C-alpha cells in the first residue's frame, strides 16, 4: 500500500468491503446537541454540556470473540501502514528515549492499538510533511506540546479520518516527536481503533409489532407527545433486517444528559414477548426478551431511516432526530 497516496485509505476500506463509516471522537462530537453529551469510561472525551444529573450507560454486552480482536488488529495494522511518513525516516524497534502510547482512548479490551517507531533527521518537519500528505478524508484536529523534567519537549499531532466498517465505533492517528542526540529526532505513530462485533439479533416478526415515538423530549421529564404505529408484516421484516446489522454498543461510560427516543414492543397472545428502547445518549438500543438481553449501538442511519419511514409526517418529531444526528457519513 503506497504511503501518502490519496487512494491508500480508499483501497484499505475497499479491501474490507463494507460501506458504513465512522470518524474520530472529535468528529463524533458533532452528533451531540443541547440535549445530551457523552462521557466515556474509555476516557475518550468530555463534551462539557450542562446537566441536572448523570445517567449510567450500559456496559458492553459481549466478550470480544478472538475473530473480532484479530480483525480489529488487522484493520489497525493496515491503517497505520497507509499513513504518511517522511521518506528520511527509518523504522526502528525501540527509541533512545521511549515515547508513551498516545491516543484519545484509554486502555481497554475493546481498543486495538498499534504503533510504529522511527528515527529521522531533526531538520525534517514531521508536522509539515504529514499535513502535506494527508490521505483522502483525513484532517489534523489537534496539536500540542508536552514537557517533563530532564527531558526534551514532546510534540503531538492528532489526525481524524474516516474508517469504513459497521464494526468500528472510533479510529484515530497520533504522531509524537521529540529531539534525540546527534542531530536526530524520534517519531512514534499510534493508531487506535474500537472494533466491535455485530450481534445479529433476530427480532421476532410474529405477533403485533408496535413502535412508539415521541414528539418532545425533556431532560427533566419523561419523553412526551407519543405516536404509536402498528407495523405490517413487511415493515416488521424490514425492521428485523436493520436491527440484525447493528453492532454491540461497547463500553460507553455515562451520559450527562439523555432522553428516550423510541420503544418497540411485540405482543403475542396478549403477552409482551420482545421489547426494545432506543435512547439519545449513548445511543443504546436495549433489547429485552426471554431469550435475548443485549445492548446494541443504535446510531446507524440505516436503522433510523427505517424507523422514520413508519411514522406519518408531522408525528414523532423528537424520535426523528435519531435520523438527523446519526450522520450518514459516519454510521451508514
The pLDDT of residue 266: 98
8-state DSSP, 39: E
Query: Could you tell me if 14 and 121 lie in one domain?
Result: yes
| Over residues 190-211, mean pLDDT | 95
Look over the chain and give the mean of its residue pLDDT values, rounded to a whole number: 81
Percent of the chain with pLDDT over 70: 78
Q: Are 261 and 217 in contact (CB under 8 A)?
A: yes
The pLDDT of residue 214: 95
- Provide the pLDDT confidence category of residue 48 given band limits of 50, 70 and 90: very low
Query: Could you tell me if 188 and 216 lie in one domain?
Result: no
Query: Could you tell me if 263 and 297 lie in one domain?
Result: yes
Query: Could you tell me if 95 and 219 lie in one domain?
Result: no
Last residue of a domain, one of 138, 167, 195: 195
Segment 173-183, tens digit of pLDDT: 999 999 999 99
The pLDDT of residue 257: 76
The pLDDT of residue 47: 27
User: The C-alpha cell of 152 is what?
Assistant: 526534551
Residue 204, number of CB atoms within 10 A of its CB: 15
8-state DSSP, 252: -
Q: Rounded CA gap, 197 and 250, in Å? A: 9
Query: Could you tell me if 181 and 297 lie in one domain?
Result: no
- Provide the pLDDT confidence category of residue 69 given band limits of 50, 70 and 90: very high
Three-class DSSP category at 297: strand
Tell which residue, 149, 154, 150, has the closest CA to residue 186.
154
Tell which residue, 226, 199, 214, 205, has the closest CA to residue 298.
199
Within 13 Å, how many C-alpha atoms sit on residue 155's CB side? 12
Find the Cα–Cα–Cα–Cα dihedral 36, 281, 227, 324, rounded to 10°.
70
CA 199 to chain centre: 16
- Provide the pLDDT confidence category of residue 253 given band limits of 50, 70 and 90: low
The pLDDT of residue 258: 79
The pLDDT of residue 65: 93
Query: Could you tell me if 168 and 253 lie in one domain?
Result: no
The pLDDT of residue 254: 60
Return the higher-pLDDT residue of 149 and 169.
Answer: 169
Within 13 Å, how many C-alpha atoms sit on residue 34's CB side? 2
Query: Could you tell me if 254 and 322 lie in one domain?
Result: yes
Tell which residue, 150, 192, 133, 143, has the closest CA to residue 4.
133
User: The C-alpha cell of 317 is what?
Assistant: 418529531
- Provide the pLDDT confidence category of residue 220 given band limits of 50, 70 and 90: confident
Last residue of a domain, one of 136, 164, 195: 195
Query: Could you tell me if 213 and 190 lie in one domain?
Result: no
Report how many domains make up the chain. 2
- Provide the pLDDT confidence category of residue 24 given band limits of 50, 70 and 90: very low
pLDDT at 215 over 60: yes
For residue 316, give its domain range.
208-331
The pLDDT of residue 105: 85
Query: Could you tell me if 162 and 224 lie in one domain?
Result: no
Residues facing 266 on adjacent strands: 209, 274
| Over residues 90-102, mean pLDDT | 94
pTM over 0.95: no
Query: Could you tell me if 150 and 283 lie in one domain?
Result: no
Q: Rounded CA gap, 284 and 133, in Å? A: 37
Asked if residue 46 belongs to a domain, the reply is no
Segment 75-90, tens digit of pLDDT: 999 999 999 999 999 9
pLDDT at 8 over 70: no
8-state DSSP, 34: T
Query: Could you tell me if 82 and 172 lie in one domain?
Result: yes
Query: Could you tell me if 163 and 216 lie in one domain?
Result: no
Amino acid at each position: 500500500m503506497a504511503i501518502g497516496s490519496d487512494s491508500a485509505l480508499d483501497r484499505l476500506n475497499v479491501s474490507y468491503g463494507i460501506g458504513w463509516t465512522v470518524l474520530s471522537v472529535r468528529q463524533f462530537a458533532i452528533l451531540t446537541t443541547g440535549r445530551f453529551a457523552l462521557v466515556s469510561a474509555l476516557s475518550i472525551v468530555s463534551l462539557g454540556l450542562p446537566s441536572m444529573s448523570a445517567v449510567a450507560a450500559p456496559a458492553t454486552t459481549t466478550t470480544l470473540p478472538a475473530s473480532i480482536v484479530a480483525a480489529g488488529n488487522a484493520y489497525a495494522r493496515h491503517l497505520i501502514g497507509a499513513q504518511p511518513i517522511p521518506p528520511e525516516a527509518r523504522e526502528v524497534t525501540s527509541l533512545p528515549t521511549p515515547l508513551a502510547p498516545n491516543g484519545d482512548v484509554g486502555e481497554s479490551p475493546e481498543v486495538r492499538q498499534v504503533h510504529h517507531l522511527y528515527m529521522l533527521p531533526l531538520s525534517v518537519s514531521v508536522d509539515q510533511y504529514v499535513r502535506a500528505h494527508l490521505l483522502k478524508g483525513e484532517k489534523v484536529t489537534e496539536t500540542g506540546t508536552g514537557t517533563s523534567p530532564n527531558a526534551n519537549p514532546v510534540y503531538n499531532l492528532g489526525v481524524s479520518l474516516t474508517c469504513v466498517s459497521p464494526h468500528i465505533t472510533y479510529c484515530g492517528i497520533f504522531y509524537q516527536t521529540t529531539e534525540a542526540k546527534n542531530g536526530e529526532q524520534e517519531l512514534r505513530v499510534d493508531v487506535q481503533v474500537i472494533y466491535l462485533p455485530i450481534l445479529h439479533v433476530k427480532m421476532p416478526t410474529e405477533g403485533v409489532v408496535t413502535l412508539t415515538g415521541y414528539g418532545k423530549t425533556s431532560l427533566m421529564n419523561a419523553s412526551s407527545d407519543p405516536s404509536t404505529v402498528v407495523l405490517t408484516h413487511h415493515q416488521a421484516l424490514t425492521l428485523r433486517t436493520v436491527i440484525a446489522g447493528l453492532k454491540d454498543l461497547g463500553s460507553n461510560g455515562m451520559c450527562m444528559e439523555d432522553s428516550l427516543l423510541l420503544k418497540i414492543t411485540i405482543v403475542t397472545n396478549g403477552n409482551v414477548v420482545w421489547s426494545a428502547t432506543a435512547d439519545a445518549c449513548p445511543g443504546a438500543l436495549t433489547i429485552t426478551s426471554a431469550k435475548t438481553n443485549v445492548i446494541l449501538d443504535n446510531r446507524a442511519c440505516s436503522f433510523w431511516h427505517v424507523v422514520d419511514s413508519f411514522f406519518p409526517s408531522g408525528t414523532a418529531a423528537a424520535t426523528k432526530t435519531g435520523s438527523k444526528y446519526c450522520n450518514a457519513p459516519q454510521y451508514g
